[in-house]
A and B are shown apart, each in its own frame.
Chain A
C-alpha cells in the first residue's frame, strides 16, 4: 500500500475524504518516514504562520477604516432617503416578532392626525409605559435618562459603521449649541434625540419609533425627518463625520 506525496499533502491540509484519510493514517502509522514527512508539513505551516500572523496584530491604518466608514455613511444617506420603505420593513419585523399587534400605547393613534406633531411630542407624554425601573428609560433628578441597552447602544454604536442588525439605529451624531454631544436614535420602542451629560444620556426629545408605526409608514418616515430637522436646529454645525464620531466616543461622549 503506497501513499503519494500529493496524498500526504492533501492529508496534512485536511482535504481528504474520511476513507482516504484513514488509509493515509494507517500507512503513516506503519512508516516512520511518512510520519516524519507529515510532521515536516506541520512545521512548515507553523513557520509560515509564525512569519505572517504578527501582521494581523498590527494596528490597521486609519485611512482604511476611514474609507470604509465614508462608504458606509454614503449608504446610510441613501438609506435615509428610503426611510419610508425602511420603516415598512421594520414595522413588518416588529409585527412578526410581536406575533400580535400591541394594544397599548394609545398615543400612537395621534400619529395619524398630523405630520408636524412628530417632533413636538414632548418627553414624558410619549413615553408612558416605557419609564420603568428596568426599561430603556429612567427618571433621574427630574430628567429622563437612557438606561440599559439603550444607554449602552448610545455609548457604543457608531453611525458610520453600524449594521442593520440590532434594534438600535443611530441616524446621526452632532454637537449641540449647548455644548454637549447628541445623537439621533431609532430603537424598536422609541426614537429621539439624546444628549450626553454627567448623569448619562438625557433624552431631549422622544417619539414612538418608526417600528411602532405599523400601519402608518408615511407618517413614520416624515416623523424621522422631523426628528432630523429638530436635530439640525439643536446642532452647532454639521453632523459629526466618522472620524469625529469615533473621537467623541473615545472621550466617552463628554466634551
Chain B
C-alpha cells in the first residue's frame, strides 16, 4: 500500500529533483542523466524507505551520492585521458567548458567556480530550502561542517557577484 504513495510522492518530487540535479551538475544533459540514475536507484530501494520519514531528503541523498560517484569516475577518466593522450582533445573540452560558462550567466558561472562541497551546501540550503540539520544529513557530515562550507560558499558567491566590497 505504501508503495503507491511512494510512487506518487516521488513523481511529485521530480521537478525539484531536476532543479537539484542542475545545481549539482551545472549542465542540462548531465542533470537529466543524474535524475534518471537517481530515480532508478530510488525505485530499486523503495522497500527500504520508511514511511513517515521525509522522502525528499531520502532521495536527495541518493542523488547527491550518485553524483559524487559520477564525479569521481570522471576525474579518474579525465586523468587517464590526459595521461595517455596529452594534446589536442584536452583543449577541445576546455573550449566547450568555456562556452558553457558563457551560457550560464553571472550566477551560474559563480556557482560553477565553487568547490563541489561548498556548492552542494549552498544549493541545499539557499535553493532547496533545507534546514542545516537536514542538509548536513543529506551530505552525511556534522552540522558544523555544513555551516562552515555554507559560509565559505556564500562568501565567495557574494564577492563574485559584487555583493561584498
Q: Is A43 a contact of B163 with CB atoms below 8 Å?
A: yes
Q: Is B23 a contact of A15 with CB atoms below 8 Å?
A: no
Q: Is B107 a contact of A67 with CB atoms below 8 Å?
A: no
Segment at the B interface, from A3-11, A98-106, A228-236: A3-11
B contact residues around A161 at 8 Å (CB): 4, 7-8, 11
A contact residues around B31 at 8 Å (CB): 55
Scoring B1, B31, B132, B147 by chain A CB atoms within 10 A of each residue's CB, the highest score goes to B1
CB A90 to nearest CB in B, in angstroms, measures: 11
B contact residues around A164 at 8 Å (CB): 1-2, 4-5
A1 within 8 A of B: no
B36 within 8 A of A: yes
Q: Is A51 a contact of B108 with CB atoms below 8 Å?
A: yes
**Contacting residues of chain B (87-135) with chain A, CB-CB under 8 angstroms:** 105, 107-108, 111, 122-123, 125-127, 131-132
Please, how many residues of chain A have a CB less than 8 angstroms from a CB on the other chain?
43
A120 within 8 A of B: no
Scoring A40, A52, A79 by chain B CB atoms within 10 A of each residue's CB, the highest score goes to A52
Name which residue of chain A comes closest to B133, CB basis: A15
Q: Is A60 a contact of B14 with CB atoms below 8 Å?
A: yes
Known A-B contacts A41-B154, A67-B39; the reply to A52 vs B32 at CB < 8 A is no
Alpha-carbon distance between A179 and B26 when the two chains are bound, in angstroms: 49
Q: Is B151 a contact of A6 with CB atoms below 8 Å?
A: yes
**Contacting residues of chain B (140-159) with chain A, CB-CB under 8 angstroms:** 147, 150-151, 154-155, 157-158
A contact residues around B105 at 8 Å (CB): 51
Which residues from chain A sit less than 8 Å from chain B, CB to CB?
5-6, 9-10, 13, 15, 40-41, 43-45, 47-53, 55-58, 60-61, 63-65, 67-69, 71-72, 75-76, 78-79, 86, 89, 161-165
Other A-B pairs, 11, CB within 8 Å; known A15-B131, A45-B126, A56-B16:
A41-B154, A47-B107, A48-B157, A49-B126, A56-B15, A61-B35, A64-B14, A67-B43, A71-B7, A71-B46, A72-B4
A and B contact pairs by CB, cutoff 8 A, 7 listed: A9-B147, A41-B154, A67-B39, A68-B39, A78-B3, A163-B8, A164-B1
